Each structure stands twice: as structure tokens, then as C-alpha cells.
Amino acid sequence: MTVQLATLCDSASDYSGKLCILGAFDTLCAREFPVVHPHCALVVRLIFEPRDAGRHTFTIRCLDPSGQDCLPPFEPVVDVAFPSQFLPFVTRNIVLNLQRLRIEKQGVYRWNIETGGITLASIPLRATLFEDPRGAAGPAG
């Protein structure tokens, strides 16, 4: 199994295996904390080879700047089958839509994607105070 893509974005959809992503981001600017982000999505695209056939349970955790869970963990399950022996790989998408995501304080948050006690990917989210745009290099820093 390989993680092909893992990101936070404004929105995402899985259309019969085709992943559509809009507005990938890694920074959230707010005028004050706590702040509530109205809608975003966490997206993971995985590649499985024939040896990976079967059921896979993942744990997706959001960690605050001190490394503590700040949301209950999500546990998506992905079933992988190979309908033909001639397929070299299959892909599966995990799209986690997040409504009213509350960020308590400034700092770097992490979304960890884990399976079997192994971290497959760690997606950072920098939460920062809004600065005067005339002196900023942009939201990504």
C-alpha cells in the first residue's frame, strides 16, 4: 500500500474512483482564536497492489500543537479486491468532509493517517493570526 496523496482542501469528491480536489491548503489565518472553519475536507488517495487485497482499517487523528487529540479519531474501512489477475494495482480514496472545524489556538496541527500502528502520512495545518496583507508573502508564507 502506498499513499499517493494526502491533503486538506476546501472540498473534495470521489466520482467512481476519480478524485476531484478543490483548493488544497496548509495554512488557516484567523483574526482571533478560537476560530471555526465552516467547511473543509481531508483527502487520502491510496494505491494497493495484489498483495494488499483484503480489508484495511485506518485511523485518522487530528493532533493539536501539544500533540494531543483535538477531535475524536475517525476510523474509515477500505475493502480492496482485484476483479482480474491482470490488474497491477487499484486505487481507493478516503474523503473526510469536516463541517465547522474548531481550531482553539495558534500553532501547527497535524492530521495523522495510521494503520496497524504505523503512520502512513502526517498532514500539517498551520493556524496563525491574520497579518496585514501588505507585508505578507501570502497565506502559505
Give the CATH number for residue 76: 2.60.40.1930
Is the pLDDT reported for residue 131 higher than 90?
A: no
Q: pLDDT for 38-89, tens place per residue?
A: 999 999 999 999 999 999 999 999 999 999 999 999 999 999 999 888 999 9
Distances (CA, A) of 32 to 40, 60, 67, 129: 19, 27, 21, 7
Q: How much of the chain exceeds pLDDT 70, in percent?
A: 93
Is 113 domain-assigned?
A: yes
**56 falls within a domain:** yes
Q: What range defines the domain where residue 69 resides?
A: 2-129
Whether residue 133 has pLDDT greater than 70 = no
pLDDT at 137 over 70: no
User: 96 in a domain, yes or no?
Assistant: yes
Average pLDDT, the chain: 93
- Among residues 9, 30, 5, the alpha carbon closest in space to that of 103 is found at 30
Give the list of residues 6+ apart from residue 67 with CB closer than 8 angstroms, or none.
none
Q: Is residue 140 part of a domain?
A: no
pLDDT at position 141 over 90: no
CA dist., res. 74 & res. 61, Å (int) = 7
Q: Is residue 135 part of a domain?
A: no
CA distances in angstroms from 30 to 25, 44, 74, 127, listed in the order given: 14, 26, 26, 8
In a domain, 101, yes or no: yes
In a domain, 98, yes or no: yes
Q: Assess if residue 72 is contained within a domain.
A: yes
Count of domains for the chain:
1
pTM of the predicted protein model: 0.88
Q: Look up residue 15 and give its three cell numbers.
A: 466520482
